[in-house]
């Protein structure tokens, strides 16, 4: 999941603190992460978490499908 998140958001380092991880999840849910923004809410975090799960499912499906083709 972390590899998919880092690749999708083009983050500079794959090592994230817990706070950076949750902000990245919130960004997937629509959070803009501007300097003056408050912390993201639960709905935004939930949307981002669901989106990350879908992306991971798709990546897993794609790699399994490619392995079967060869």
- Mind listing the pLDDT tens digit for each residue in 59-69? 999 888 767 66
- Mind listing the pLDDT tens digit for each residue in 12-55? 989 999 999 999 999 999 999 999 999 999 999 999 999 999 99
Q: How many domains does the chain have?
A: 1
**What is the C-alpha separation between 52 and 26, in angstroms, rounded?**
10
Predicted local confidence at residue 31, as pLDDT:
97
**What is the C-alpha separation between 13 and 1, in angstroms, rounded?**
14
Predicted local confidence at residue 69, as pLDDT:
61
Statement: the pTM of the whole predicted model exceeds 0.75: yes
The domain in which residue 46 lies consists of 2-69
């Amino acid at each position: 999941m972390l590899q998919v998140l880092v690749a999708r958001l083009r983050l500079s380092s794959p090592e994230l603190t817990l706070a950076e991880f949750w902000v990245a999840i919130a960004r997937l849910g629509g959070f803009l992460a501007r300097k003056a923004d408050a912390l993201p809410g639960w709905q935004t975090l939930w949307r981002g978490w669901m989106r990350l799960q879908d992306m991971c499912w798709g990546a897993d499906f794609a790699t399994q499908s490619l392995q079967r083709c060869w």
